[in-house]
Each structure stands twice: as C-alpha cells, then as structure tokens.
Amino acid sequence: MKEKISYTEAFTELEAIVGELEQGEISVDELSEKIKRASVLIKICKDKLTTTEEDVDKILEELHEKEQNEES
C-alpha cells in the first residue's frame, strides 16, 4: 500500500531526519527506524519527481507536435 504524502511533506520530513542525524539527536535504538523511514521518503520523492518529469516531457512533446502540425 502506497503512502499518500505530498512531495513537500516527504522532503520536509526527510530534512528533519537528516538534521537529527547531523546533530546526533537520534539514539542508537531509533537509528534503524529513522533510516528505514528516510528510505521510504526518498523513494516517495524520487517517484514523484520521475512522474513529474514524465508529465512535463509528455506535455512538451504534445506542444512540439502541435507546432509541427500548425507549420504544415
């Protein structure tokens, strides 16, 4: 089951985890769970970026085709 979370929410949570890691605020007991959560958040962000890139490419291709048809 995919988690419903926006890119911004995932990125913000990921930044918080990284901040905790950098500041040494995470206990050894929490470390494994934080790393697992960060992995999930990274996948969410990557998937959303990939989907957005594909959408933009499709739109640009459609615009290019439209321009080509208008020139003919």
Question: pLDDT tens, 14-55?
Answer: 999 999 999 987 888 899 999 999 999 999 999 999 999 999
What is the model's pTM? 0.78
61-64-66-68 Cα dihedral, nearest 10 degrees:
-130
d(CA 27, CA 21) in angstroms, rounded, equals: 9
Mean pLDDT of 52-70: 93
Q: What is the pLDDT of residue 3?
A: 73
pLDDT recorded at residue 70:
84
Residue 46 counted as domain residue? yes
Would residue 2 count as lying in a domain?
no
Q: pLDDT grade, residue 60 (50/70/90)?
A: very high
Q: How many alpha carbons fall within 13 Å on the CB side of residue 17?
A: 19
User: Is residue 1 included in any domain, yes or no?
Assistant: no
1: pLDDT strictly greater than 60 = no
Instruction: Say how many domains are in the chain.
Output: 1
Domain range holding 24?
7-71
